[in-house]
Structure 1
């Protein structure tokens, strides 16, 4: 939490706290420092910094409303001042005022980054063949143009152009991402170096950026359960302590005939020591400080009660794709069969470059990453659900067939060694592609969903905290088990439909206790809603997941 040390009033308040507490400690240790006009100095401190709480206490006292904590603060400070315990009177008021100020600072800090984004968001956009108009007037499906180094005004899909986009305002990732035709872009992000045309997919009030803003402001109105408890506690505690102090004074004095001054001092002392300053101010300060720190680390928490719920979590359900993994296939293994690596990869990439399938793109990317440009191919044909064929100009055998092992076997014999490799990869949850040129099997390319590098570390930390991690995925069991072994997860539920995930959450709650759910897609929404704390993986995830979740991870 950043303290506003440039605020003179806050600096004076800190100085008053240091002075009052120091004098109080010295007084308690029997060291009295002569200070001329001490009553007036302390009165100035109390009135200067605590006038709001004092006025509120007076108003409630005149209304005979003893449920307000300000009444207790007023009576305690007045009583201590009457007894000549000036440091105590000042400490009671000033510490309370400091707590309220720190709470305000926590709220301001948690919103400061958001407000900066709101102020910097584009208010207009260049509409193709029309000109510059306010973003609120732009309908979904409109083509807008964005120049280099300009912010993107609306969510959309790139219709033309190539660029790199700084998505740190949305995802927290400071490395610009390459974008080209068909890629999704978000309002509030920065177009770095290319002229692009975008087909808008959301109106101004429904962009990812706008949803984050709305969720954050809503979070500030979502008070924690402890804060509500403190308010209820004060409503009972204050009148109870006032009544007890009255009894402590009236019974000995008026019933038992004891010394008035002595028992008045005792009653006032009771009021002073009963001031629950630490209890009343600690919860909001801790909650807002934690929310502010979380936001700086890329986690949007939609209310203090979710922070408190996280502290009691005993199990966490984790989706696999895009939660533990990147959700993008990459080449993990290449097995050659009587051919060299370049011929295998370049031949496969030459065919796959014509395909729009994610696996095909992964093979092309891998081939280029190894320094092998795709071979020139023609007469490409996609066999839906099985693979593809083409005629390669560079290969010794022109006919190229690439696809699932079963599909290749329908056209030619597959060596036993190749079958063994494909079976091994299948057991590991990987996807296999067999490459054939002419009547020869050139090799096998295995692809998998790459696990994020910090997933295993996060799982280990959960276990160290005594939290049970559980994988919940719609993928097949082999793929789920493979990722689970890498991540260190022992319990796996695979092949789940959305309703199955919510039922699994209920089962975990019954078995372990309070359970959190981490996911990113629409299929995770029921489980996110059913869990004690739903955590969405990034603002770039599905609308439903981010809206249903209690915490959104921006990084």
Structure 2
């Protein structure tokens, strides 16, 4: 089996560490390599394994960069060689290099899901017009490309031929493949299932939803958390302080108190080794990367470590209604046939009259009629009356005039009975929209429509409230509709009828009341409130450029239930970072005290330093499996 070069280097490093550690253990029990071979053998390990560290340390010394960890290690190795502690000098460098490599592996593992996606994304697409593969960066918007079953879709677009199942888990985190047919949108990075399709591209390769995810995820490291920034600043002060302390530990006992030179030099070296802030520096980034990786796998794009940190402190969540708690598309909820009209006649005739309308309410009625097995009747002379309704002639029922629309529109033609008024009022009190239907001789029926609530909305809001987080609805919909939906999902604080600027004003008020507030919206009309909030969370981000760019977190799969999960994940992450940091500091403090009082042991100090680093990495990477 041929291992990749990087893997072969790591295996060689592990082998070298094993040999050096065994030689060090033998040395501690009195079994030494014979002279004059010992220095050459150990120096060979130091040069082969640690040459990069030594060179960087020397460069740091020449530049008087005393905050360099490599300088600290270089001083420790040279001093150990001077003392003739050859096994210790080799152990210092190989274990330090191992620790560095483990840090890299920790970061790589926490970013591995995204790296795999990048590698799997096609670099070319089969263009129908030229009948050949062309690099995706050369393909213009509007180009027709062909995708075979089992291929990864290379560019965003709309299907113009064929139907298939598409696995969108790369974008949404949703494991169940979606049925796609002509007119449906598809995204780069998703997997075509069982059908041959042709798509007309809608974005350049650099502008696809997937490309934006990759770009924003790699930029996430720039948005470091306060903890990361603090530890980086702390390390820059900490390293020169430790070098200074090591000098004092050596100079004061030897040159002022005239004590043993070699003993105190060894204590100073031990201090330098144990003081290396590897575990401290790695404590935050590995945990943050692991948390971001976990969130990405579930369909949440977090744009930086600082938002993981902030989420742990959120006290309130403001949510939009449409496309957040609800689907944002109307569905028929109630059908009231009147004056002897059958349900079939009401639905099929109304659907036929609405066949030529593109209005969402019309499309919902057509869908409801077909779902119940009633084929929409053929109609003619369709006429839309803006803001009121529509008229048509039903060929099947031989009805001269079918009137469909608001109650006020029907009132222009007919007397409205008390029963009709009562039904419309009842539907309005439930936050539903009424479509009143007449066949030319009075009202023959009323169809109620509602914006369907997502199945996970109630659970998500309950989970937030269980975490002592207040949930507030901010919506542009009417007060009645807002309160009806709010009651269904358990929200008690509601602000309805808000324009975008009014939502922003309410967000300012909430920030004064709660200090840390997250805003959840669709990223378009909610943009001002998203920008003002402590953390802006965009719903339905797949295919919405505004959502991805405006918000700090984008939920690619429309699931409100991801928000309580993200808050739990952020709290767990911050708890892990504190454990990592305090554990590293306490361990180092103990060994620093031992070194100051002359009781430290170099081999034990090295083992403790690498051990703490390894524990920090393993516990941090465990965040990738949080709640899986």
Give the Å deviation of 1:10. 3.5
Give the Å deviation of 1:314. 2.2
C-alpha change, 1:143 and 1:286, in structure 2 (3 Å) is: closer
Q: Is the CA contact 1:226–1:283 (under 8 Å) kept in the aligned structure 2?
A: yes
| Among 374, 380, 383, the residue aligned to 1:381 | 383
Could you tell me which residue of structure 2 aligns to residue 345 of structure 1?
A: 347
| Among 493, 496, 520, the residue aligned to 2:495 | 493
Could you tell me which residue of structure 2 aligns to residue 53 of structure 1?
A: 53
CA distance in 1, matches of 2:257, 2:143: 89
Q: Is the CA contact 2:17–2:91 (under 8 Å) kept in the aligned structure 1?
A: no
Give the Å deviation of 1:480. 1.9
Could you tell me which residue of structure 1 aligns to residue 105 of structure 2?
A: 102
Q: Is the CA contact 1:147–1:191 (under 8 Å) kept in the aligned structure 2?
A: no
CA distance in 1, matches of 2:302, 2:288: 10
TM-score, with normalisation over the residues of structure 2? Answer: 0.75
- Residues 405-437 of structure 1: per-residue CA shift (max 9 Å, x gap): 222222223332332222121122111112222
- Residues 154-209 of structure 1: per-residue CA shift (max 9 Å, x gap): 55566x6564573715444543344445x5554555596476574x6544443434
Gaps of 5+ in 2: 558-628
Give the Å deviation of 1:125. 3.3
Q: How does 1:435-446 map to 2 (within 5 A)?
A: 435-446=437-448
Determine which structure has greater relative contact order: mean sequence separation of CA pairs < 8 Å that are 6+ residues apart, divided by chain length: 2
Give the Å deviation of 1:91. 8.2
C-alpha change, 1:80 and 1:194, in structure 2 (3 Å) is: same
CA distance in 2, matches of 1:336, 1:33: 95
TM-score, with normalisation over the residues of structure 1? Answer: 0.84
Could you tell me which residue of structure 2 aligns to residue 415 of structure 1?
A: 417
Gaps of 5+ in 1: none
Q: Is the CA contact 1:80–1:269 (under 8 Å) kept in the aligned structure 2?
A: no
**Over aligned residue pairs, what C-alpha RMSD do you find?**
3.8
Q: Is the CA contact 1:106–1:285 (under 8 Å) kept in the aligned structure 2?
A: no
- Residues 311-356 of structure 1: per-residue CA shift (max 9 Å, x gap): 2222222222222221111112222334332222112212122211
Could you tell me which residue of structure 2 aligns to residue 535 of structure 1?
A: 537
Could you tell me which residue of structure 2 aligns to residue 230 of structure 1?
A: 231
C-alpha change, 1:37 and 1:349, in structure 2 (3 Å) is: farther
Which has the higher mean CA deviation after the structures are superposed, 304-313 or 422-431? 304-313
Partner SS state of residue 166, structure 1: strand
C-alpha change, 1:383 and 1:268, in structure 2 (3 Å) is: same
C-alpha change, 1:274 and 1:178, in structure 2 (3 Å) is: closer
C-alpha change, 1:203 and 1:350, in structure 2 (3 Å) is: same
Could you tell me which residue of structure 2 aligns to residue 513 of structure 1?
A: 515
C-alpha change, 1:63 and 1:499, in structure 2 (3 Å) is: same
C-alpha change, 1:69 and 1:444, in structure 2 (3 Å) is: same
- 1:7 equivalent in alignment to 2:7: yes
Give the Å deviation of 1:121. 5.0
Partner SS state of residue 470, structure 1: strand
CA distance in 1, matches of 2:162, 2:493: 43
Give the Å deviation of 1:15. 7.0
How many corresponding residue pairs? Answer: 542
Could you tell me which residue of structure 1 aligns to residue 296 of structure 2?
A: 295
Partner SS state of residue 283, structure 2: helix
Which has the higher mean CA deviation after the structures are superposed, 295-304 or 130-139? 130-139
| Among 78, 89, 92, the residue aligned to 2:92 | 89
Could you tell me which residue of structure 1 aligns to residue 244 of structure 2?
A: 243
CA distance in 2, matches of 1:66, 1:57: 9
- 1:269 equivalent in alignment to 2:270: yes
C-alpha change, 1:240 and 1:224, in structure 2 (3 Å) is: same
- Residues 504-524 of structure 1: per-residue CA shift (max 9 Å, x gap): 332222211222222223222
